[in-house]
């Protein structure tokens, strides 16, 4: 079996933050120049792009699951983050 060096993908530190109001949360996200949806539970700082192969947490594969019913244009826009 060929040797493979798996880079460490564990975060340096994990913290929990609580905001007293929506305005306080928005000020924080503006400060770090990121957004967070209501369903999202975590984020990376600085912002992590899983498709960036030059960073240690980049995806190993350039493959993507394809649903035959999903139009190609919509799938490509989602992948590009548009």
List the chain pLDDT tens, one digit each, 82 residues.
677 776 666 788 999 999 999 999 999 999 999 998 889 888 888 887 766 656 555 455 556 666 665 556 666 676 666 5
The pLDDT assigned to 11 comes to: 83
User: Measured between alpha carbons, how far is 12 from 4 in angstroms, rounded to an integer?
Assistant: 23
Give how far Cα 24 sits from Cα of 16, 39, 49, Å.
Answer: 15, 18, 26
Residue 31 burial (10 A CB sphere; 0-12, 13-18, 19+):
exposed
Which pTM value belongs to this model?
A: 0.52
Number of folded domains that form the chain: 1
Provide the domain limits for residue 41.
1-82
Give me 10's structure tokens: 């564990």
């Amino acid at each position: 079996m060929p040797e493979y060096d798996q880079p460490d993908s564990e975060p340096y530190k994990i913290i929990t933050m609580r905001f007293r109001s929506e305005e306080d949360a928005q000020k924080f996200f503006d400060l770090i120049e990121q957004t967070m949806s209501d369903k999202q539970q975590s984020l990376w700082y600085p912002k992590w792009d899983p498709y960036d192969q030059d960073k240690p947490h980049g995806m190993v594969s350039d493959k993507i699951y394809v649903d035959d019913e999903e139009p190609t244009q919509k799938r490509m826009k989602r992948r590009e983050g548009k």
